[in-house]
Amino acid sequence: MNPIEFPNNDHYYLTLAEEAFSAGNYTQALENYKQAYQENPSPKLNRLITSLALEQGDFSAALEYAEEESESYLETPETIDLFLQIQLYSQKFFAAREFLWRTQKVNYLTEEQKNFWSMRIDDQEAFYQRQQQAVIKQIEAELKQLPTMKPMEQLVMVRKIKQLPEEQLQSLAEKFMLDPQIAPLVRSYLFESLARVGVTEKVRYLTIQDEIAELSPANSGFDDSLQNSIEARLDEYLGDDNPVLLSSLLEQMKVEMAFLYPLQSSFMNPEAWAASYLSEYSEWSEPLDGGIEAIRGKIKQLLFDYH
């Protein structure tokens, strides 16, 4: 039977999926649920697919669909448990800790449940580590070469740090965040990695201005108020007259803001930032702020190093 192409085509695949499921053909049921999801995706159908895929041992499919709708898995204790199970079966221990940290905001899990999952993640990771010691040692050896690499190479290599157990991840991150040979965007990535797994203790961090700051990663989330304020001012000046230039400046601004993380609030002068961008590409003639020009000059030089 071929599918009929008309609205509500997802119902066709759902019917086939339910028939296959009732007949005990779970593999075919899963494939039809996936087809229905392509036609009309929804969090409920997503969770149905991940549950069925998990039961069949198709961890890669369960992981793919769960990560696509990760926010929806924060809705109930049951969906939280499902998401965490998928991460553990897929050996995604960093992602599991990150998600467990995110559950603090919705407050659906009791302290006992949180402690249970924290211990389970630790136990599963310890077991995996024992089985994968050679692989982990290889990753550590590769990461220790970061200071000798070019900035773009560092950005690619540093992503492997999420494959390490939490203790080694934190130890290496804290070391590299103070190393001037580590590119600023890489130091920012390491700080964000600690924030994503809920590290609350203050860590030392070498800023873009070559100063040492002590910050709590979990309590120093990305503050987009400066970025939003700059965007509003640029839109005010260019939105109606030059939308193409506006789009280009907004992209440039977002890249530069990444260099300021996690200290964006220290440069809270949106008018000066907007004026700086406008002076480069338009007939802006008003005085510019020396401090903002200096930091932008440094960011431009750093960006040049990535090419």
Q: What is the pLDDT of residues 147-201, one digit of tens each?
A: 999 999 999 999 999 989 888 999 999 999 999 999 999 999 999 999 988 899 9
* Tens digits of residue pLDDT in 197-245: 889 999 999 999 899 999 999 888 677 899 999 999 999 988 888 899 9
pLDDT exceeds 70 at position 7: no
Higher pLDDT, 307 or 296: 296
Q: Count how many Cα atoms sit within 13 Å of the Cα of residue 25 in the half-sphere of its side chain.
A: 11
Arithmetic mean of pLDDT over the chain: 90
pLDDT exceeds 70 at position 4: no
Provide the pLDDT confidence category of residue 8 given band limits of 50, 70 and 90. Answer: low
d(CA 178, CA 139): 20
d(CA 197, CA 214): 18
Task: Answer for the pair 150, 180: CB distance below 8 angstroms, yes or no.
Answer: no
pLDDT the model gives residue 1:
43
- What DSSP string runs through 81-122? HHHHHHHHHTT-HHHHHHHHHHHHHHT-S-HHHHHHHHHHHH
pLDDT the model gives residue 307:
62
pLDDT the model gives residue 6:
40
Kindly state the tokens that stand for 235.
Answer: 């839109």
pLDDT the model gives residue 201:
93
Cα 130–chain centre separation: 27
pLDDT the model gives residue 104:
86
- Provide the whole-model pTM: 0.69
Provide the pLDDT confidence category of residue 10 given band limits of 50, 70 and 90. Answer: confident
Q: Which residues contact 294 (CB under 8 A, 6 or more apart)?
A: none
pLDDT exceeds 80 at position 59: yes
Phi and psi at residue 205, to the nearest 5°: -140, 130
d(CA 77, CA 109): 6
- What DSSP string runs through 192-251? HHHHHTT--S-EEEE-TTS-EEEE-GGGS----HHHHHHHHHHHHHHTTT-HHHHHHHHH
Across 82-89, average pLDDT: 95
Terminal Cα distance for the chain, rounded: 54
pLDDT the model gives residue 284:
75
